[in-house]
Copies of this chain bind each other. A is one copy, B any other.
Amino acid sequence: MSGSIFGNNIKVSTFGESHGVALGCTVDGIPAGLSLSKEDIQAFLDRRKPGFNPLSTPRKEDDEVEILSGIFEGKTTGTPIALIVRNTSQESGDYSEIASYYRPGHADFTFDSKYGFRDYRGGGRSSGRETIGRVAAGAIASKILKSLGVSVEAYTARIGPVKADLSKYNRENVLALPTAMPDKEANDLALDYVAEMRAEYDSVGGVMECRITNLPAGIGEPVFDKLDAKLAGAVMSIGAVKAVEIGDGVMVSERLGSENNDAFEIKEGKISKKTNHSGGILGGISDGSVITVRAHVKPTPSIFKEQHTVNKSGEEIDIKIKGRHDPIIVPRAVVVMESMCALTVLDLMICNMSSTMEGMQNFYKS
């Protein structure tokens, strides 16, 4: 059964392994007439590219994208856009040992259980490099959303104990700082913290958040295809994410109704809310406020400390993982979260175009 395709109206079909020939995706359903260049996609890929950041694995990959189809004279044609990134720096030699045992916190054991064997080189399909396809597609979705006035911005909200101060939110920081934090001060503290843990051969977890602004009210379908349900599924599908919150998230379970309800008001002539505990979603449908999503990311499972595990012969052993690994997943995952949120929102905006007879009649009148 297929598990590598995302979306209903915009369908992203991804492929590729850490040490295979190439990774990428085909994006089907993109409307015709969008100006789209290689640079648009490369800019997103560069945000997750390894080897150029103190928090990233030293594996250097240019991750240069090639567009194979779907663009004509600089514009999308409405047909599938295929995008590939070739692997250039695979060091298969590094990974021969891990073929023999199951790394704690990794998918080695579960892939073997499911498929009978696995491509053990760098985690194969379960590697973080899998997200190249997501991010390449997300770049396109983001560009469409921007042209519709909708903005999707993810950032690092916390690294270990170091929280970003969101009152100092600065988008330039998110794009420029190695932590992808919006706050320079927190970035510096976080870098120190990670360096310290790394020196102890350990790794660090963190939190990333995404804000979707200027989304019209009415996006999301009732019952199963709610905006929050789709966002949760999309974000939880990112490797290492173990919890997803919408709006005030886990805090709501300790609240009273009178504390948690957001009162409606009229602001600048429009219906608005005095607070936004709900994270911009009511009954699974956007209410016109900012959508807020939060994801908790576990520490990188590949650590250099000694760990206990089992090998393929069924013996318990102690191992020390070698190779090239990020000490924290969050900073490079931020653009993945942004991509998944953008794809989700765009898909549901298309769903919404047939919500009313009036909308359909207007569309086909012209």
Contacts and interface: CB of A to CB of B under 8 A. Distances in A.
A254 B115 contact: no
Contact of A147 (B8, B78, B248, B357): B357
Interface string A1-33: 111111111110111110011111110110111
Contact of A69 (B22, B31, B274): B22
Contacts of A161: 254
Name the prevailing secondary structure of the A interface residues: mixed
A321 B18 CA distance: 48
Interface stretch (A50-58, A166-174, A176-184, A215-223): A215-223
A243 B242 contact: no
5 contacts: A3-B221, A17-B79, A111-B283, A243-B249, A263-B309
A191 to B, nearest CB: 16
A151 interface: no
A299 interface: yes
A111 to B, nearest CB: 7
Contact of A6 (B224, B245, B287): B224
A126 to B, nearest CB: 4
A15 B78 CA distance: 11
A298 B252 contact: yes
B222 A79 contact: yes
A15 B253 contact: no
A125 B281 CA distance: 16
B233 A110 contact: no
Contacts of A66: 21
B282 A20 contact: no
A161 B298 CA distance: 27
Given A15-B80, A110-B218, A202-B258, 4 more contacts: A29-B354, A105-B261, A205-B253, A239-B283
